[in-house]
Chains A and B, each alone.
Chain A
């Protein structure tokens, strides 16, 4: 469950951004639609606890993350929030499997290689286990990123323009897999996008 109320934010020297209230129930899948410059990424970072809002509150399950001290917030984020970025980034010195293992460790979990393998196989990149991330195609990279975001069974999955770098075929496949996997762990999924291709795939939508 994700509830955001009266969120505002302002970068130094810029006008205040005001965001609509959000309420996503556990397991629901939402689309947050907005044009470039509307503060989509800022909102996603607020929801992920990467930034502190100027005012307002964010509540994930029973935790008001906007009030957590930073160290507790880091712990909470690692365990409960999976984030997928516009472009999939990895720790370049690690292979695909190690990148997922790192996600488990950073969240304070034990490394579970079976879980890693299963996740990658679900996302049709099981054969890339030992590959270097930069050897993968854009579509493969985004699928590995999804696997990484979901490997710790987070309560909330936040995706920032996950399809903007992908062609139509890959977009469809990636979103389908993202939806499936989020549903499998009953995670709340929130995709921030200006990609109209997604509008037909996810019904619940919020306009910025």
Chain B
């Protein structure tokens, strides 16, 4: 029977009066902890996906939207840009630009976005192929690890895309040919895990008239007939060559009136000229250029205002719960005054009684803390599942941060502070007077 055991028994013998303190404490701690978790994981997710992109060029509109759409794939495109406008950035041996990667967006499959791009995108994120190969022909896709896992897609599987970025069966492109999975990427922890990658040209084929397609189709027919293939062979070749016998041309050689959604640009070096490029684009062209790091910082500072409010609320809750611990300990002293004097009469020192009450405060705060942490991580896990369904980003409730250790220290500190006045009061109780009153 030591002080810790005794204070524990004291608490569990009065569960109701301690409940309010614990619940309040848990709420405050839980709120702060979940804010930490969200903030940390958001930053983690955002930073991981910066991928050394210096500039995103797209249609005029909100720069944040352009970044969110092109880099994080969580917003709609600002519009499309013509190849002839994008072309200057894509020419080989550009003095400032190391890489300019075209993106075409607007279609999805079961909520996962289909992006028409070049294989340069893979090197941007250091992504590797797990099985299969990189897309080469139109309608060939290389899919992210999460897409493969969640949709249970394998090499050789085929699917129809739908127009729009949400899972909308109503707008299925069931009149065009199916996408075919030719490769699956290794998990990279980046947004690539959530994407279905194909050629930019595929988008034109889906969305434009199929005349061209038909022509080619017919052409194939005569060619093969001429070669005198038998019927089975012909059928086989037909499906094989449906989307053109050769890999699509470089975008530089395509019809310059065709459109893409945006360009991800990485500079050769950050110098005065490259920094000026953004302003030049924004002021002198119909295009818009946005810097990911700046926009993300802006987003975080926007969120920070909300977080600040919630954090303040959490601190107020914790303060109130500290007050509640103080009040419940203080009022319990009135009931336990005789009990404490009795312990003194049996040899307990004032320091012992002081310790007992402080421990009660500490235990209450610890219980509150652990329930709070449980709440926040459980809540975070729930939230993670929701975010995953809505945005395809992976969050987890089972990540623990060092901030939470500081939170524990803070919680224990509040427990001590709340208990200190009752503890002093208890240790100063006049034994004789209390016992005489009986």
Q: Which residues does A use to contact B, with CB under 8 Å?
A: 41-42, 45, 48, 50-51, 71, 74-75, 77-79, 83, 85-87, 89-94, 98, 101-108, 111, 148
B432 interface hit (Cβ, 8 Å):
yes
What are 17 A-B residue pairs whose CB atoms fall within 8 Å in the complex?
Answer: A42-B436, A45-B436, A50-B344, A50-B435, A74-B344, A77-B346, A78-B347, A83-B346, A85-B435, A91-B342, A93-B6, A102-B343, A105-B2, A106-B347, A108-B347, A111-B1, A148-B346
Cβ of B6: which chain A residues have Cβ within 8 Å of it? 91, 93-94, 102
Cβ of B14: which chain A residues have Cβ within 8 Å of it? 93
> With A74-B348, A94-B6 known to touch, is A45 a contact of B1 (CB < 8 Å)?
no
B276 interface hit (Cβ, 8 Å):
no
CB-nearest residue of chain A to B9: A93
A92 to B348, CA, bound (A): 17
A106 to B2, CA, bound (A): 9
CB-nearest residue of chain A to B343: A106
| B347–A74 touching, CB < 8 Å | yes
Cβ of B47: which chain A residues have Cβ within 8 Å of it? none
Cβ of A91: which chain B residues have Cβ within 8 Å of it? 6, 339, 342-343
| B9–A94 touching, CB < 8 Å | yes
| A87–B435 touching, CB < 8 Å | no
A185 to B297, CA, bound (A): 79
Q: Which of B10, B338, B436 has the most CB of A within 10 A?
A: B436
A85 to B218, CA, bound (A): 111
> With A91-B339, A102-B6, A105-B1 known to touch, is A75 a contact of B346 (CB < 8 Å)?
no
Taking residues whose C-beta sits less than 8 angstroms from the other chain, chain B's interface range is: 20 to 34
| B13–A93 touching, CB < 8 Å | yes
Q: Render B339-378 as a binary contact track against A, CB cut-off 8 A, 1 for contact.
A: 1001111111100100000000000000000000000000
Number of A-B contacts (CB under 8 A): 77
A208 to B350, CA, bound (A): 32
| B2–A48 touching, CB < 8 Å | no
Q: Which of B336, B347, B435, B436 contacts A77 (CB 8 A)?
A: B347
A90 to B6, CA, bound (A): 13
> With A45-B432, A50-B432, A92-B339 known to touch, is A86 a contact of B438 (CB < 8 Å)?
yes
What distance in Å separates the Cβ of A3 from its nearest Cβ neighbour in chain B?
21
Cβ of A103: which chain B residues have Cβ within 8 Å of it? 346
Cβ of A101: which chain B residues have Cβ within 8 Å of it? 1
Cβ of B10: which chain A residues have Cβ within 8 Å of it? 93
| B431–A50 touching, CB < 8 Å | yes
Q: Which of A48, A51, A83, A87 contacts B438 (CB 8 A)?
A: A87
A91 to B344, CA, bound (A): 12
A159 to B263, CA, bound (A): 93
B409 interface hit (Cβ, 8 Å):
no
B313 interface hit (Cβ, 8 Å):
no
What distance in Å separates the Cβ of A12 from its nearest Cβ neighbour in chain B?
11
A48 to B341, CA, bound (A): 13
Complex A-B, nearest 4 residue pairs according to Cβ-Cβ distance, in ascending order: A78-B347, A93-B13, A50-B432, A93-B9
CB-nearest residue of chain A to B14: A93
A92 to B13, CA, bound (A): 8
Cβ of A87: which chain B residues have Cβ within 8 Å of it? 438
Cβ of A111: which chain B residues have Cβ within 8 Å of it? 1
